[in-house]
Amino acid sequence: MTLHIPSSPAELAAVVAAARSTGTPLAVAGGGTRAGLGRPVQAAATISTERLSGITLYEPAELVIAAKAGTPLREVTEALAAKGQRLPFEPMDHRRLYGTSGEPTVGGVASANVSGPARINLGAARDSMIGLKFVNGLGQDVKSGGRVMKNVTGLDLVKALAGSFGTLAVFHEVCFKVLPKAEGERTLAMTGLSVPQAVAALSAALGSPFEPTGAAHWPASGGETARTLIRIEGFAAPLAYRTDALSKLLAPFGAVETLEADASAGLWADIRDAAAFAGTDAAVWRISVPPSAAPALADRLAPLEPRLMLDWGGGLVWAGVAATGDAGAGRVHAAAKAAGGYATLVRAPETVRGAVDVFSPAAGPLMAIQRKMKASFDPDGVLNPGRMYPGV
């Protein structure tokens, strides 16, 4: 296995161009902490963004930061924290789930569109991505977007590439819009709710004017009581007011307990990283559905005896199932589809991921557009072939 570690965009472009001319598929790697995400890639060589590192622009008063793709995410979050700011989309750290070491990178977060609990009101990574520089499968160095928040000049390739898992281009620089770090946070917690009750409670909170930035539910499991959690953030006065108002709003669903900053932060880091499944050998599915469909989805998954965790007010269902056979793929995809959503197999042995649909299969015309997209960026199928779908 050849490893290419270019140290400039020009070198990156040369590596891709050479691979194209020799028909050598390339696996694209950032920090390698999420290598288990997606279908296994058969590639003769790997291209690493490791040496494309460093923050290239940070203007706190303009709420914008740009960094080269191989920059450890930690460098960015630390630079932001020093100025009281943060990435709004709260990217999940997959190391806990996979037991991987190494450093998650800016490029990895962008290419997998990695988001966390705040996605419900602050958006996903793609919503914060405003500029991208990348090398496409033709070995051309291309830019889209820029460093300003509002930009509708030409086609928005930034969003088209967010979450493309390195199958369309190798990113070498990403620009994000950022937000001030909240002055404080609190979590309102209820215990003992069923999934339907919890989704109703979370939905009521999210439909309130109090702007929760987290809304999750852990169903009862093994002796543990079910917990329903709502996070609010902000300055001291609004926090106090919103805590009171939301507690009143939620009173019909049960008693509400308030968790202060530290306990709250730890809790949401666990939810963000799907920590409930860390250290287990379950196959882990991530299922995105309309929140009100979550209870029916849970019922349909019941024969798999899953361990469930709900985020995004029920709109994101994590399911841990036995990693044997097809890891429940047939049932999970059918249940997700019936619920009006889709499923991704986030963790499973490579043999399973190579044999089942890791991402929900797209309908005919939709799949045709995906293939056209792939052909527009990477006509010879050089980059991460098959990572998302066979042939894509």
List the x/- string, 307-336, binding to other proteins by CB under 8 A.
-----x--xx--------------------
CB of 189 to other proteins, least distance (A): 22
Q: Answer yes or no whether residue 113 interacts with other proteins by CB under 8 A.
A: yes
Which residues, numbered 167-206, are part of the site for other proteins (CB under 8 A)?
168, 179-181, 183, 200, 203, 206
Measured distance CA(309)–CA(317) in Å, rounded: 6
Nearest Cα residue to 287 out of 263, 254, 310, 264: 310
**Which residue's CB is nearer to other proteins, number 95 or number 337?**
337
List the x/- string, 66-95, binding to other proteins by CB under 8 A.
-----------------xx-----------
List the x/- string, 31-70, binding to other proteins by CB under 8 A.
----------------------------xxxxxx------
Q: Answer yes or no whether residue 252 interacts with other proteins by CB under 8 A.
A: no
CB of 45 to other proteins, least distance (A): 18
Q: Answer yes or no whether residue 246 interacts with other proteins by CB under 8 A.
A: no
* Residue from 245, 259, 261, 265 in contact with other proteins (CB under 8 A): 245
Number of residues lying near other proteins (CB under 8 A): 96
Measured distance CA(282)–CA(305) in Å, rounded: 11
Which residues, numbered 139-158, are part of the site for other proteins (CB under 8 A)?
140-144, 146-158
Q: Answer yes or no whether residue 269 interacts with other proteins by CB under 8 A.
A: no
Measured distance CA(44)–CA(22) in Å, rounded: 11
Phi then psi for residue 257, to 5 deg, are -105, 150
Which residues, numbered 361-390, are part of the site for other proteins (CB under 8 A)?
362-363, 365-381, 385, 388-389
